[in-house]
Structures are given as C-alpha cells and as structure tokens.
Amino acid sequence: MKIRNMVILFSVIMIAGYLATITTIYATQINRVDVTEINSIVKTIEKDWRDGDTIKSGMFGGMSYQIALFTDENYQALLFDSIKNRQTIMDLTGTAADGQEEFLGKIIILTDGSEEATMKRNLTILISLTFGLVMIMVYLVLGLVHTAILRPFGVLKAFARKIADGDLEFQLPMDRGNYFGAFTESFDLMREELRKARQGEYQANISKKELVAELSHDIKTPVATIKAICELLEIKLATVKSEDLPGSTAATTLTESIEKIAVIDAKADIIDALISNLFHATLEELEMLKVNISEEPSTVIIKMLKEMDNFGKIQFKNDLAECLIFCDPLRLGQVIDNIISNSYKYADTDIDIWFNLDKTEKNLTITIKDYGPGINPDECPLVCEKFFRGSGETVQNTPGSGLGLYLARQFMVAMGGSIRCYNEEGFTVELGIRVV
Amino acid sequence: MSNTILKAEMLSKTYSNGSIMQHVLKNLNLEIKAGDFTVIMGSSGSGKSTLLYALSGMDKPTLGTINFKGEAISNYSNDQLAVFRRKHCGFVFQQIYLNDTMTVLDNIMISGLLVSRDKKAIANRAKELLQQVGLSDASYHKYPSQLSGGEAQRVAIVRALINAPEIVFADEPTGALNSTNAINVLDVITEVNTSGQSIIMVTHDIKTARRANRILYLKDGVIIDELNLGAYVKDDPDRHKILREFLESMGW
C-alpha cells in the first residue's frame, strides 16, 4: 500500500470515528418528561380513584405508573427508590368526605433510568473501536516505514561498507516495488561500473605489457636471422681470395662488402640488445605487479572459487578448515581466476577441489583438478614459464599469451606460497598457501 | 586423549571496524586437560582475555572450533552457550561484580538457582564452600559493601564454584587486591584446583603465575611458547626461578 493511500485511509477512519462519536452523543438523550402527558395521567388516575377504581399500578399512554399510598407501610421506601431512579413523582389527592381536598399518596411515573448507562456503554464501545483502529493504522504505517525505508537503508549501509572495503563483487539485492528500488539500482550500477573499470584497468595493464613483450619476442626472431645471414656471408666472403677475382674493382667491391656486412651485423647486435632491454623491462614490470600480503580468513578462498563458478562445474570435495592465511586477496583471486579459466578453456570438464590443512607445517593446500586431456608430460616443467604455451592442438587453437600460470607462480611465490602442476586423471594444480 | 576437557583448533578472533580488520587471535591450537591449572600470560593487547572469553563461550570465535568434552561449542547458539556456561563454567573477574543489594548468601544462591531448583541443597553447598574459603557464619548475611576486597573476591569464587563447574575461568582475579588478600585468594584457587577442578587464569603477576602447572605465553594472538611446571612441588623455590627465566626469555 502506498503511503498516500494509507494517509487517506487513516484520515477517513479518524473522521468517521469522530463523526460517529459526536452523532451518538447527540442522538442519545435521556427522554424529557412530558409535563402535560403526566398531568393528564395524574388527573385520570385521580378521577378513577374518586370513581372507586383503586388499582395501584398500570399503564397510561405508554407510561407505567405506580401509586404509593400515604398509608402504605413501605411508603417511604418506595419514595426513596423512585427518587434514586430519577422517576417523576406527583401528588395523589382525593376529595374527602367534607369536600376538602385530601392527600392520599404519590403517583410514581416509572421512567427508564438505565438509559444513561446504555449511552455510556455505547460510547465506550465506539471510542474503543476508534482508538483500536487508529492504533492498527499507526502500527501499519510504522511497519511500512520499517520494511520500506529502514530495512533497505540498512542493506544499503552494509553494501556501502563492502564497497568501501573494496569488495566489488557484492551484489545489491533490488526491489523495484520499493521506494529505494531505483536508488538501489543506481548504487548497484555504480558498483558494477567500478568493478568493470577496475577489471578493465588490470586487463589493459597486463595486455599492454604482454603486447610489448610479445612484440619484442617476435622481433628477436627476424633479427636473429639477419645476424645469422651476416655471419654466413662473412664466412663465405672471407674464403674468396682476391687473386681469384677478375680485376681490381672486383677486389675493392669484395672488401667493401665485407665491411658493410660487418656494419649490418653490428647494428643487428644493437637492435638485439635494445629489444632485449625492452623485453626485460616489460617483463620486470609484469613481475612487479604489487602483492600486498595480509592476514585473511581462509573462507575468502571459497568466495573466490564460487565467483568463478559460472558454469556450475566446480565441486568442493571436502570442507575447508577455517584458519587465518597469508595472502593478497586480489592476487590470490587472480591466481584462482587464471587456473580455473585455463580449465574452462582447455578441459571443459568438472573441476574438483580439495583442501588440506597441515597444522604442523602451517600450510594450506588447495588441489584443483579437472578431467581434461592434461598436458604433454614433457612440457610439464615448462607450464609456469613465461610465454610458454603447450603444443597440443586445443592450446594452439585457443588464443592466449602463455602468461597465466607464469603470473600465478609469480604471485604465489610473492605470497610465500607455492604452485605445482601435474597430470593426474586430468590437469591438476596444487596451490600451497602459508597459514598464519 | 580421554582426559582432554577443552580443545581449541585453529582458533581466530577478528574484530573488524569498517575495512580495518584486527586479528586478535591467530590460528591458535590449545588443549586443556581435566585438572590442569593453566595460566595465560603475555603483554597487554596480546589477546589473553580474548582467548579466555572465547574458550569460556562468553564470546564466539571468528574462525576455528572449540570442543568441550568432544562437543563443538563454537557452533552453539547464544542461548545454548548461556546454558553451557551456567552448567560447566565458573567465572572470577578482576572486578568482583557482586550485587550490592543482596547479601553474600543470596549473591551466591542466585547463581545456583539458575541451574538447580533445590534451594536447601544450594544453601548448604554455599555455606560449605564459604567455610572452605574461610568466611564465617557471620558473613552470610552481610552485604558486599561490608566486606573487604579479599573477602568479596572469595565470595565471588564461591559463586563461581556453586554449580561445581568443570572449569573455572579467572581473569586477573587478584589484580585489584592488596598482597595479603591476593595470597588468600590464590590459596583458595589453588585449593580448588587440588580438589580436581580445572583452572584457566589470565594474569600479569609472576607470583600468581607460579601457582600454575602450565604457563602459556601469548604474543600477538599466538601462543609462542609454554612452560610446564607440573614436575615441581607447589612450594619449590625452583618454580619461581624457572618461571622467571622463562618469562625473561619471552621478553617479559
């Protein structure tokens, strides 16, 4: 229910209650005593009395009466009772034998004394009802404020803290029907953008360096060919004897050629050295990706793996022992990211994960295993080398730079841990993480 | 082992404030055997009290498990923990926390009534224990304000013992007492231990610590070393010497 409807309903109920109360108060009145009616009753009774009709109670014109005779024993008691009940009392007079008026007793007109009580009860019910309704409305409004405003706000607060903590994977649940829905959505968009930007930055940084590294790597090959040809030419020309050549011009050309080839060779050397420098500089930069080690609860690993579980293929084979580990959550996340994406790319089978905590060695091992074709056993020691890519067909047909496991090893070593890759049913990676 | 009463595995406690995480206990492993008198030492902020509170179920660890007689109390809900503490743990604090508006006997009995409904039995046990710690009949109906610090702490010890807990947790019980009173209270605690109850105590005081048969030294949330004094007789002067050497090597 919208707040506006609520307010309208609230007002309507309040006004209705108010009107009902007022109406009841005015509608309920204690019947006035009709003086002429009573007078006529009295006169009738007196007349009847004179005629000898001495009935002591009866009805006249919708009003019942009772006669208390002066001579009655309970005269006083009757009188007091009727006074108590606010009944109308009139004198009953008759004509005595001497023709004088004589006081006989009282006529008590019985009116309903409980009217006031009835009115009170009705009023009480009415007022209770009104107050009850008002209370229910207030509770409803408070409840609405709580669910529609306070709770979403609490969620938003928790979300903002997560963002501040740098946890950009935390999704904000959204409720469009809510006042906060749109607000929440923009917050979540902001988070999504931040996450993308951060990921993009990391990717751009890596790929820029990878490009430079790859290019320099590629340029080295033609330069090496140039150098080889130069050397070949030098050797070949050195064996040619100038005496065998026809004429002095040819001899001069030969000497010049040898000199020129030497220059080409020297320049090729320089290019080679420069490219080596460039290559090493970029590699170092790649290696220099900062690792900030902190003490983290081991449960972060589960979170990272779950984030990578886009196809529902990751299965935890045993429970992770809760403990504190040394790691850089960002880098460990990248390591896991690289390993799992490799598995998706090359094996595309289920991925089983085991955890093993060695308390004495203070080491937490994560074994990540897929059931794909694995790698060529000869290439096993090389998988963590930079730019190494397997010779298998799938690998050759899948784009990649050969840096994933290399970076994974760099990061693991920087965190004081280890990485080991081997074939067992499929490809298996064992990550060793230091426990605090 | 069968007589292990309390076992903590990979216990960590983290307090976080916004993005700042403070790990007060780090992957702590600890085993307490029935009848042990264990003292936890270490400089301020090393996590002594946090460890005591986590072990006793007054606080929940962030990571890791705590087993009491084979049952993982670290998985308990707050209500279950409250019941566990009532039945199995006794607590003695530096601040004595007696209720000023109740007499000594009532202060003790109210703890007893949390566990049992038998008023008479509790009263008898309370009186017996009060006798044991050297408080006479005259003190039963005194109010805490009429007691000395040492007497009040002894009343608190009786309160901790009323439900015959398996373990008594003491957080610097002699910290606020003068030396005579402190010795008195320590004698009581030592006696309690002799009668078979396990004691885990946090202290700063070497004289207090030498009563124990096991000293754990905590630094930055990790037990860096422990000393076993069980081989020495209670009054052996070597106890003090060895403890002093141990603490010096710890950088006390």
Domain boundaries, chain A: 35-112, 206-287, 294-434
> Looking at the predicted structure, is the pLDDT value of residue B5 above 50?
yes
Residue of A nearest to B20 (CA): A165
* Residue percentage of chain B with pLDDT more than 90: 42
Run of H or E including A358: strand A351-358
Chain A neighbors of B22, CB-CB under 8 A: none
Angle between helices A115-145 and A3-27 (to 10 degrees): 170
Assess A433–B contact: CB distance below 8 Å, yes or no.
no
Q: Which of A164, A357, A362 sits opposite B19 (nearest CB)?
A: A164
What confidence score (pLDDT) does residue A373 get?
Answer: 87
Min Cα–Cα distance to chain A from B146, Å:
49
What backbone torsions phi and psi does residue A109 show, to the nearest 5 degrees? -85, 120
Split at pLDDT 50, 70, 90, the class of B160 is: very high
CA distance A342 to A344: 5
Core vs surface per residue A55-77: b (16+ CB within 10 A) or e: eeeeebeebebbbbeeeeeeeee
Cβ atoms of residues B239 and B210 within 8 Å: yes
Residue B198, SS3 per DSSP = strand
Q: Hunting for tokens 């006042």 — which residue is that?
A: A179
User: Phi, psi (5° rounding) for residue A240?
Assistant: -75, 125
Say if the Cβ atoms of B18 and A298 lie within 8 Å: no
CB contact under 8 A, B10 and A297: no
User: Minimal Cα–Cα distance from B86 to chain A, Å?
Assistant: 28
Tell me: pLDDT of A1 over 60.
Answer: no
Confirm or reject contact between A299 and chain B (CB < 8 A).
yes
Domains of chain B: 4-249 (3.40.50.300)
- In this predicted structure, what is the pLDDT of residue A287? 64
Contact B63 A359 (CB under 8 A): no
User: Are A295 and B62 inside 8 Å of each other by CB?
Assistant: no
Tell whether A295 lies on the interface with B, counting CB pairs under 8 A: yes
The pLDDT of residue A33: 67
Q: What is the pLDDT of residue B13?
A: 92
pLDDT digit string, tens, across residues B125-156: 999 889 888 888 888 999 999 998 888 998 99
- Segment B186-216, tens digit of pLDDT: 888 888 888 888 999 999 888 888 889 899 9
Pairing of strands A418-424, A363-370: unpaired
What is the gyration radius of the CA atoms in chain A, in angstroms? 53
Alpha carbons A174 and A333: distance in angstroms, whole number: 27
Per-residue model confidence as pLDDT tens digits over A289-327? 778 888 888 988 998 888 888 788 899 999 888 889 999
Residues 144-183 of A with CB under 8 A from B: 161, 164-166
User: Tell me, what's the pLDDT at B101?
Assistant: 93
Phi-psi region of A370 (alpha: psi -120 to 50; beta: other; left: phi over 0): beta
pLDDT at A402 over 80: no
Q: How confident is the model at residue A40 (pLDDT cuts 50, 70, 90)?
A: confident
Of A294, A297, A359, the CB nearest to B29: A359
Residue A282 has pLDDT above 80, yes or no: no
Smallest Cα distance from B25 to chain A, Å: 9
Confidence of residue B41 (pLDDT cuts 50, 70, 90): very high
B51 — pLDDT class (breaks 50, 70, 90) = very high
Q: Is A57 helix (H, G, I), strand (E, B) or coil?
A: strand
Evaluate if residue A32 carries a pLDDT over 70.
Answer: no
Q: Identify the CA nearest to A359 among candidates A431, A270, A251, A434.
A: A434
| Cα end-to-end distance, chain B, whole Å | 32
Q: Which of B69, B73, B48 has the alpha carbon at shortest distance from B60?
A: B73
A45 vs A403, residue with greater confidence: A45
The minimal CB distance from B10 to the residues A165, A295, A323 is found for A323
- A118 pLDDT above the threshold of 80: no
pLDDT at B205: 87
CATH superfamily of A294-434: Histidine kinase-like ATPase, C-terminal domain (3.30.565.10)
Tell me if A297 and B19 make a contact (CB, 8 A cut-off). no
Q: Do A324 and B12 touch (CB under 8 A)?
A: yes
Helical (H) or strand (E) element with A429:
strand A426-434
Residue of B nearest to A359 (CA): B10
Q: What is the mean pLDDT of residues A85-107?
A: 80
Confidence of residue B1 (pLDDT cuts 50, 70, 90): very low
Q: Give residue A5's pLDDT.
A: 79
Rounded CA-CA distance B174/B200 in Å is 14
